[in-house]
Amino acid sequence: MKKRYNPYTLPPWVRQVREIGIQIIIPLTIFQGIRTVFFPTSFDVLLLALLILLAVAFRYDWI
């Protein structure tokens, strides 16, 4: 049987890093999206995709 993810079982420093990541990921994704519109390079597109994936993962508590 698969165990459910519980963020409270993590060490305190991991929880703090996770909370900081949740606060930073959306503004950073928006900035990267605007940057990708004006200066599209393959690295920018890949970075934007990674940031969107991280934002979705934080939103649905996958991380």
Residue 34 has what DSSP assignment? H
pLDDT one-digit tens code per residue, 27-44: 999 999 999 999 899 999
Question: Is 57 strand, coil or helix?
Answer: helix
Which amino acid makes up residue 22? I
- Neighbouring CB atoms inside 10 A of 48's CB total 19
pLDDT at position 53? 95
CA distances from 4 to 1, 14, 16, 19, 63 (A): 9, 17, 20, 19, 12
The parts of the chain modelled with pLDDT lower than 50 are none
Q: What is the pTM for the complete model shown?
A: 0.76
Angle at 59 between CA 46 and CA 3, to 5 degrees: 110
